[in-house]
Amino acid sequence: MALVYKLQSLSSSLSSTHFRKPNSLNPQPICSLHFNSSSNSSPFTEKTSIERYQRDQWLYKNQLDQATLCSVPPDFDSIRQNDIALQLPELRKLLQVLRGKRESEGGCGSGKCGPGNVFLVGTGPGDPELLTLKAYRVIQNADLLLYDRLVSNDVLELVGSGARLLYVGKTAGYHSRTQEEIHELLLSFAEAGANVVRLKGGDPLVFGRGGEEMDFLRQQGIEVNVIPGITAASGIAAMLGVPLTHRGVANSVRFLTGHSRKGGTDPLFVAENAADPDSTLVVYMGLSTLPSLAQKLVHHGLPPNTPAVAVERGTTPQQRMVFAELKDLADEIISAELVSPTLIIIGKVVALSPSWPYSSKEVSCLVEAI
């Protein structure tokens, strides 16, 4: 049953299948200890940053003014559950407003209102100028936008003044919403007749779980429109001057994920087939697993001196990058203290970048030798 029905009462919503019951049915004011102003260090919405609460303040009303000091470290699961409790009343009101708007505009035939529109929109790797014109138009006309952590703050500045924003991002150790809860939110607002936009960093169908959301909604009879975005591999490689394929150097490109689904198999089992010196490897979400991946690639035949690069927060003003040979890349990343999101590109084409720290003569010899 969709969230639109679960929002009939706060108590029933919190005890539903997709919303675990918090420790108290009386949500507490937002704790100021949870705020982590990240505007100067990150172009994205980091965990429970103050920017997130300010952007989504329609959900919290006076809670920002009532922020209290905390004397204990934050429990992110409790924060998540408390956030949901604080948000539910306003989400319920918004559903009622959107239903009324649809009815007043004559969007109901024979007493029955048809569903609204759902758009899965890719926002690219971070630079708002890489957004497509179609994505910009849809963002401007949205009633509600559910946005992920890796939708940059600059892109979110483009949202229309009448739209409502809801953060549903995930990061290690803190999921503001489960995937099932995101599904229910999309369905509920679509059934209320809203123009719902699901904003995702990069491309929604490349390691973005867009396929899962599309499949769920279509099974419920909701039409889904997908607007592609420039995936991080393309955007960041272009910025570096690295051709992902190049005649005589790399005849294919392969996208890998460094993470597996919880309880799934080792994401690095593909290393045996991926260790191809004539291919380019692009690893998403691979910071923690790179040391193991690099060892496996070398074990299966990829030369240890294969050029590689790791790029943190690519295409944004906070971008940082580390070039190194594959055997040294993990240590160089640790030394530079790169953090998520970081994209890793491995392959001879990396040596073609103007930023590769070897002379052009050495690069020519390296590409020929590998």
Judge contact between 80 and 181, C-beta under 8 A.
no
Rounded CA-CA distance 18/86 in Å is: 16
Instruction: Indicate the helix (H) or strand (E) that contains 146.
Output: strand 144-147
Spot the catalytic one: 170, 276, 327, 328. Answer: 170
Q: Determine the 3-state secondary structure of 307 from DSSP.
A: strand
How do beta strands 307-312 and 342-346 pair?
Answer: antiparallel
Q: Which residue has the tokens 């004397």?
A: 71
Specify the residue for token string 């123009």.
195
Instruction: Give catalytic status of residue 148 as yes or no.
Output: yes
CB neighbours of 30 closer than 8 A, spacing ≥ 6? 53, 60, 63, 64, 66, 67, 68, 86
* Helix ranges restricted to H, the chain: 3-6, 10-14, 50-55, 76-104, 133-140, 153-156, 179-191, 210-219, 232-240, 271-274, 290-299, 326-336, 360-369
Q: Which of 56, 285, 321, 348 is catalytic?
A: 285
The one catalytic residue in 56, 83, 143, 148 is: 148
Active site residues: 148, 170, 285
